[in-house]
Amino acid sequence: MQPMRTRFILMETSHPGNVGAAARALKVMGFDEMVLVAPRYANVLRKEETIQRASGANDVLDKTRTVNTWEEAVEGISHLCATAMTPRDFGPPTRAPREHFEGLLGLGQSRASAPASLDAAQMAAVAEPISSIGFVFGSERFGMKNEDVYKCHVALSIPTNPEFGSLNLAAAIQLVAYEWRLALGGFPLTSPLAQATLADAAQVAGLLGHWEQALVEIGFLDPLAPKKLMPRLNQLFNRADLTPKEIHILRGVAKAMIQTAQAKR
């Protein structure tokens, strides 16, 4: 997926901690463009609580702009997504983030090839593919104003418990940022552990022979009537995908079994 300019716009935020937490949420998901519109505190980006809640995302705070008007905040953005818990009777369509993003990024480049089922917001994107996207979040106390929602192409609503859907501002930003990053292709999962080298067939055979000797010594295996014990252990060791270090440990166990059995004679 080609990089797409992504901006998170916070309207009239009142709590410095939410600004810091929002910066952290964006950095975790690989975004760094945030704009504050008329925040309650003019120096919110320098407040101690903001910096503490950013938890290392200071570069996002340093890049964040504070503006006074809607027009300044959305300048240069081609597709605007409002965020609203309560559907409006009038205005853009209300959609879940994942549903909207999948449709938005999966659309063709021409109106002629677009499915007939697309809504107005998606048809607009087909006619003019988006080059940038903005996510708009309302104030903590009142949410988004109707007049701001009406200016957007879609109203995103996070599916929540119908009986309790109240989300903290920073939590809502984190969820939308995650869904958008997922739609763009996400990040590969990385393991902190290096891929282990597996023991080869000769090492497994050596382990099997050592265990056969130990099992005979402790009286668990009758060499005159072994039945299928050793083949079954062979299959078990093969399924375990043992590493050389694990082979060493198991051979140490076998050695201790032999020594203990011989000492009791």
Give the pLDDT score at 77.
95
Mean pLDDT of 8-22: 96
165 contacts 86 by C-beta, under 8 angstroms: no
Compute, in degrees rounded to 10, the torsion defined by CA atoms 236, 239, 240, 242: 100
Q: What does the DSSP assignment read for 184-197?
A: TT------SSPPPP
> How many angstroms separate the CA atoms of 242 and 239, rounded?
8
**233: nearest Cα among 216, 262, 261:** 216
Mean pLDDT of 84-100: 82
Instruction: Give the model's confidence band at 223: pLDDT under 50 very low, under 70 low, under 90 confident, else very high.
Output: confident
**Residue 110 CB burial class (10 angstroms; 0-12, 13-18, ≥19):** exposed
> How many angstroms separate the CA atoms of 213 and 52, rounded?
62
73 contacts 125 by C-beta, under 8 angstroms: no
pLDDT greater than 50 at residue 193? yes
Say which residue the tokens 């704009």 belong to: 35
Higher pLDDT, 107 or 14: 14
Q: What does the DSSP assignment read for 66-123?
A: EESSHHHHHTT-SEEEEE-SSPPSSSSPEE-HHHHHHHHHT--SSGGGS-TT--HHHH
Digit-coded pLDDT (tens) for 41-90: 999 999 999 999 999 999 999 999 999 999 999 999 999 999 986 666 67
Strand-by-strand arrangement of the 94-95 sheet? 65-67, 34-37, 5-11, 132-137, 79-83, 154-156, 94-95
Q: Is the model's pTM score more than 0.75? A: no
Which pair of structure tokens corresponds to residue 215? Answer: 């099992």
Give the pLDDT score at 114.
41
198 contacts 243 by C-beta, under 8 angstroms: yes
* CA distances to 33, 109, 128 from 132, in Å: 12, 16, 11
Give the pLDDT score at 191.
66
Mean pLDDT of 161-171: 87
Cα four-point dihedral sign 74, 80, 81, 87: positive
* Domains of the chain, first to last: 5-183 (3.40.1280.10), 201-263 (1.10.8)
Digit-coded pLDDT (tens) for 102-158: 988 875 333 333 444 455 555 555 456 688 999 999 998 888 888 999 999 999 999
Give the pLDDT score at 113.
39
Digit-coded pLDDT (tens) for 234-262: 999 999 999 999 999 999 999 999 999 99
Report for 97-111, 154-168, 174-188: range of highest mean pLDDT = 174-188
Mean pLDDT of 222-232: 90
CA 97 and chain centroid, separation: 14
Element (H, E) at 34: strand 34-37
Give the pLDDT score at 188.
85
